Amino acid sequence: MKKLVKIIFCLVAISLIGNANAAVSVDHDSEADFSAYKTYAWQEGTHAQNALMHKRVVRAIEAELEEAGLTKTEDAPDVHVLYHVALNKDRRIDVDDFGYANRWRGPRYGGGNVTVFDVNVGTLIVDMLDADSGDAIWRGMAQKDLPPTPDPDKMEKKLGKILRKMFHNFPPE
């Protein structure tokens, strides 16, 4: 029985650790010559409704672009950068005993407890467009479960971590 409890504990810990990280994906135009892109300018996207969060997102993206060697300009940029942010609710189901209550405890105890709850899910998309053609050349997307009342300092740190992960291999080879 102790071994079973340890296994359950490990599975729960793994699932919690997995939920702590954002799901990040990146796509790019394999025919684009990223070595030719040196400057960028912002273009209108779907900004965060909270003005303070908007500033945090812009600051974090600009830090990653600067790290990648791009310089911000308003005069004839090579690429346009825009971001989109969305907040949605997702319904989750939690079963406290992984559905094996009858086999472990016997039929006299019945099934386990099932809890249905809503989770806020934040989505951040960063797009880059070739300034001359207007064609999409790069897109990064991240999704993460958010707490009901996020702490601004923690959110800023998480945002930086997510964008570092998104821009890890930027510019693509």
> For residue 19, what are its two tokens?
């939920």
At residue 59 the predicted structure's pLDDT band, cuts being 50, 70 and 90, is: very high
SS3 171: coil
In a domain, 10, yes or no: no
Structural domains in the chain (count): 1
In a domain, 9, yes or no: no
Q: What is the pLDDT of residues 1-55, one digit of tens each?
A: 444 333 333 333 333 334 447 899 999 999 999 999 999 999 999 998 889 999 9
In a domain, 41, yes or no: yes
At residue 98 the predicted structure's pLDDT band, cuts being 50, 70 and 90, is: low
pLDDT in the model for residue 126: 98
In a domain, 6, yes or no: no
In a domain, 108, yes or no: yes
DSSP 46: B
Question: Rounded CA gap, 126 and 140, in Å?
Answer: 5
pLDDT in the model for residue 62: 98
In a domain, 126, yes or no: yes
Question: Rounded CA gap, 136 and 72, in Å?
Answer: 18
**How crowded is residue 160: how many other Cβ atoms within 10 Å of its Cβ?**
15
Q: What is the pLDDT of residues 105-152, one digit of tens each?
A: 555 455 567 888 888 899 999 999 999 999 999 999 999 988 877 788
The answer to whether residue 166 scores a pLDDT higher than 50 is yes
Helix 51-67, helix 152-166: angle, nearest 10: 30
In a domain, 141, yes or no: yes
In a domain, 155, yes or no: yes
SS3 78: coil
Residue among 26, 133, 159 at smallest CA distance from 80:
133
Which structural domain, as residue segments, surrounds residue 140? 22-166
Q: What CATH number does the domain containing 154 carry?
A: 3.30.160.670
